[in-house]
Amino acid sequence: MFFQETVSQAPQFFGLVPWIVFFPVIGLLFNIAFGGMILKRSPAGEKIVGWVASIASGLTFVVSVLLLVSLLGHPEGMVVPLAEWIKIGSFSANWSFQVDTLSVVMMLVVSIVGTLIHIYSIGYMHEDVRHNGDPGRYGRFFVFMNLFIVSMMILVSADNYLMLFVGWEGVGLCSYLLIGFWYDKGEDGIGNAVAGKKAMITTRIGDVGMLLALFAMFWAFGSLDFNTIFAKAPQVAAASPVIILLITLFMLVAVTGKSAQIPLYVWLPDAMAGPTPVSALIHAATMVTAGVYLVARSADLYILEPQAQFMVTLVGSATALFAATIAVGQFDIKKVLAYSTVSQLGFMVAAVGMGAFVAGMFHLVTHAFFKGLLFLSAGSVIQGVERGAHHIEHDPKLKKQSKSLGPDFDPQDMRNMGGLRSRMKVTFWVYLIGAISLSGLPPLAGFWSKDEILAEANKLYIWAYVLLAIAAIFTAFYMTRQVLMVFFGKPRSAAAEHAQESPPVMTIPLMILAGLTVLGGLINLPEFHTLEHWMEHTLGQAIHKAEFVMLVAALSTVLALLAIVAGWWFYNPRRYEAFWAEPAAKRPDDPLRRLIGPLFELWKNKYWIDELYWAAILNPYIALSRFLADVVDWRFWHDWFHDQALFGGFNRLTGLLAGRIDLGIIDGIANGLGTLAQRVAAVLRSVQTGFVRNYALSIFLGVVIILGYLLLR
């Protein structure tokens, strides 16, 4: 009753917020129920299935816009309860939505990027399912994608930490399912499935951090609702600051898992096993930014605890630099982007860590646009090359000419590309826009948001500024390297030679995202600070005024330009082709190796962190679990203790008694009593027959004796 009244008083559109979850639920239920049938019966089946899912996602965008409109009039937002969920004693958590300026920004990002990627996938998956030889799986992809939108929307719209956690683990599930979408492909046929499992388990380590944060929070605040907790936070912090530190650090563990920060980032590069739209949506634009959102959402807690802020900043800026160096040493087009994502997430985490919540959210938004764009364009490149390979396969004349397209031809290896600029014009231009934005050159979106982070760091934590600025140099360098290797020079494989542009259903979303990448900076330009004023309504006193520092901006632009020049120097078409023309045995895999061979080896092998984790954690756990299962539980406990010591001992004991009494009595008394004794002995001997009734009988006899004693004494 109470719920109804509050909703009816609300500005018209706030009550619609549950539909951001319901629409995609309807979409996925439709495709579960009818998708298979439609795909089988209708020649346009793929279009129907894909568009149903895309429209379901698009409707969440409509709802988000309506919420935005309502917020313009009522920027304080509101809580829209849906149903009671768990209520035990003093604990309660509801299915309840928080509409405020922070959550609606997230909803908009998720729904815009999500919808564009749904549409793109209609074209992409059409080819992908054929390339992988199982068109029946087309519908399943869109079911999982809609499920992802559902979970992500639950995550960003929750009004309490427990509901947030439902979305938090829900997106993890979708990530698992979609990384392993081609679960019968990859290394040894199981590589993709293993990558999915790795993602799920690694992020679950972080999730347990989140759980512990929830427990600590509830017992400190008596609630898990955002509003209650943030209102009580100063008072709890005054009483016992250590509890706030505990909560914020537990949450940091969760952030390192979901947002792929040191030490739990290792799953994200492997997650590239998923189809490319998945990498764009989940592993670049939206899900991985959940950690950034979490810290921004919990701003009121973090600002109370400088130690926690310090830790978050440290983790973020260290990750930013660390991952940027690894990206330089990668050859797989998606791996470069994956490490770049880890690095950019580091920028965001560092920003929200140091208290620059608006800068962090700003970069989250622009990154969603340009990294989504880069991944989708990379997908277009990969399919372009695959189309080239396909073209050769089906043209006998070409097939004879081109020699080197074996079964292990890797369409994602940048060394197999080159010269795609003229073959895939649209893809090239949008890719270039994304790359420039990521490199941080004005006036594209990435410049504004990254610069705001650097300016804040310069003011707050100078060491973080240094780390991030160096990371930014590496960023411009690896993007230059990538663009030059992929698009410039001459094609280095027959497949690249015959690469073809992607269809409009894929390129149009790319162009829209490119537009957003160009214009995205507008949402928080210096002087205007639109996003900042917008966020003020939610973050309140946690916000501090961002300043535009000309010197910082100029310096980072110069540094980025220098890095681009350096990249050009190493990888310009002429030089790279000359390098490529050397005999394969003599030349290393990359020109950079001639200058900094050991470093490049380090980067290429990702500092051997995966190997370290295997040696330090995974193998010991596997060994321990085998030891516990085989030796402790089975051989010692089951076989020796129970079977031999207990049962065997009991049998020996009864055998002994039977034998002793038997013999002793027969020896002693050789008369009628002997017969009786033999009978007794026979009864006792039968105890060791192994029949359960005899064991039971002996136990019952014991009970009767004890019972008799108790009653008669």
Residues of span 628-657 touching other proteins by CB under 8 A:
628-630, 633, 637-638, 641-642
User: Which residue, 218 or 331, has its beta carbon nearer to other proteins?
Assistant: 218
Closest separation between CB of residue 384 and other proteins, Å? Answer: 28
Q: 99 phi and psi, to 5 degrees?
A: -105, 110
Number of neighbours of residue 609 by Cβ within 10 angstroms: 15
Q: CB within 8 A of 7, min separation 6: which ones?
A: 14, 15, 80, 81
User: Which residue, 210 or 531, has its beta carbon nearer to other proteins?
Assistant: 210
Residues of span 454-473 touching other proteins by CB under 8 A:
none
Please identify which residue in 6, 81, 134, 232 interacts with other proteins, judged by CB under 8 A: 134
| Per-residue burial over 626-637, b = 16 or more CB atoms within 10 Å of its CB, e = otherwise | eeeeeeeeeeee
Handedness of CA 18, 24, 27, 29 (dihedral sign): negative
Query: In whole angstroms, what is the distance from residue 488 CA to residue 385 CA?
Result: 15
Closest separation between CB of residue 261 and other proteins, Å? Answer: 18
Query: In whole angstroms, what is the distance from residue 286 CA to residue 275 CA?
Result: 16
User: Which residue, 3 or 695, has its beta carbon nearer to other proteins?
Assistant: 695
Please identify which residue in 24, 27, 35, 170 interacts with other proteins, judged by CB under 8 A: 170
User: Which residue, 569 or 637, has its beta carbon nearer to other proteins?
Assistant: 637
Closest separation between CB of residue 169 and other proteins, Å? Answer: 5
User: Which residue, 166 or 602, has its beta carbon nearer to other proteins?
Assistant: 166
User: Which residue, 490 or 626, has its beta carbon nearer to other proteins?
Assistant: 626
User: Which residue, 206 or 591, has its beta carbon nearer to other proteins?
Assistant: 206
User: Which residue, 205 or 522, has its beta carbon nearer to other proteins?
Assistant: 205
88 lies in the site for other proteins, by CB under 8 A: yes
State the number of binding residues for other proteins (CB under 8 A): 63
Please identify which residue in 682, 696, 701, 705 interacts with other proteins, judged by CB under 8 A: 696
CA distances from 391 to 398, 497, 662 (A): 9, 10, 93
Q: Which stretch in 270-278, 375-383, 493-501, 699-707 sits in contact with other proteins by CB under 8 A?
A: 699-707
Closest separation between CB of residue 98 and other proteins, Å? Answer: 18
Q: Which stretch in 200-208, 283-291, 343-351, 466-474 sits in contact with other proteins by CB under 8 A?
A: 200-208
> Could you give the string, one character per residue 177-196, with x where binding to other proteins holds by CB under 8 A and - elsewhere?
---x--xx---xxx--xx--
- Residue 493, classed as helix, strand or coil, is coil
165 lies in the site for other proteins, by CB under 8 A: yes
Please identify which residue in 550, 597, 706, 708 interacts with other proteins, judged by CB under 8 A: 706
Q: Which two tokens stand for residue 438?
A: 């990521």
Please identify which residue in 626, 635, 652, 679 interacts with other proteins, judged by CB under 8 A: 626
Torsion (CA) 488, 491, 497, 502 in degrees, nearest 10: -40
Closest separation between CB of residue 309 and other proteins, Å? Answer: 24
User: Which residue, 550 or 696, has its beta carbon nearer to other proteins?
Assistant: 696
**How would you write 510-565 as a 3-class SS string?**
HHHHHHHHHHHHHHHCCCCCHHHHHHHHHHHHHCCCCCCCHHHHHHHHHHHHHHHH
Closest separation between CB of residue 236 and other proteins, Å? Answer: 14
| Contact assessment for residue 81 and residue 96, using Cβ atoms and an 8 Å cutoff | yes
- The interaxial angle of helices 357-393 and 290-297, nearest 10 deg, is 170
Straight-line distance from the first to the last Cα atom of the chain, in angstroms, rounded to the nearest whole number: 67
Closest separation between CB of residue 370 and other proteins, Å? Answer: 32
84 lies in the site for other proteins, by CB under 8 A: yes
166 lies in the site for other proteins, by CB under 8 A: yes
Burial, 459: exposed, middle or buried (Cβ in 10 Å; 0-12, 13-18, 19+)?
middle
User: Which residue, 214 or 499, has its beta carbon nearer to other proteins?
Assistant: 214
Query: In whole angstroms, what is the distance from residue 497 CA to residue 490 CA?
Result: 8
Query: In whole angstroms, what is the distance from residue 20 CA to residue 107 CA?
Result: 8
201 lies in the site for other proteins, by CB under 8 A: yes
Please identify which residue in 239, 703, 705, 708 interacts with other proteins, judged by CB under 8 A: 703
> Residue type for 403, please?
K
Closest separation between CB of residue 561 and other proteins, Å? Answer: 46
Closest separation between CB of residue 637 and other proteins, Å? Answer: 6
User: Which residue, 656 or 703, has its beta carbon nearer to other proteins?
Assistant: 703
Residues of span 205-224 touching other proteins by CB under 8 A:
205, 207-208, 211-212, 214-216, 218-219
Query: In whole angstroms, what is the distance from residue 493 CA to residue 418 CA?
Result: 8
- The interaxial angle of helices 45-73 and 19-41, nearest 10 deg, is 170
Q: Which stretch in 158-166, 317-325, 341-349, 545-553 sits in contact with other proteins by CB under 8 A?
A: 158-166
Of residues 35, 26, 57, 27, the one with CA closest to residue 135: 35
Q: 86 phi and psi, to 5 degrees?
A: -115, 130
Please identify which residue in 622, 653, 663, 673 interacts with other proteins, judged by CB under 8 A: 622
User: Which residue, 192 or 317, has its beta carbon nearer to other proteins?
Assistant: 192
* Cα 480 off chain centre by: 27
702 lies in the site for other proteins, by CB under 8 A: yes
Torsion (CA) 460, 463, 468, 472 in degrees, nearest 10: 120
The DSSP annotation for 678-690 comes to HHHHHHHHGGGG-
Q: Which stretch in 119-127, 167-175, 225-233, 303-311 sits in contact with other proteins by CB under 8 A?
A: 167-175
Q: Which residues pair with 449 in a beta bridge?
A: none
- Residue 86, classed as helix, strand or coil, is strand
Question: Residues interacting with other proteins, by CB under 8 A?
Answer: 83-89, 91, 134, 162, 165-166, 168-170, 173, 176, 180, 183-184, 188-190, 193-194, 197, 200-201, 204-205, 207-208, 211-212, 214-216, 218-219, 621-622, 624-626, 628-630, 633, 637-638, 641-642, 690, 692, 695-696, 699, 702-703, 706-707, 710-711
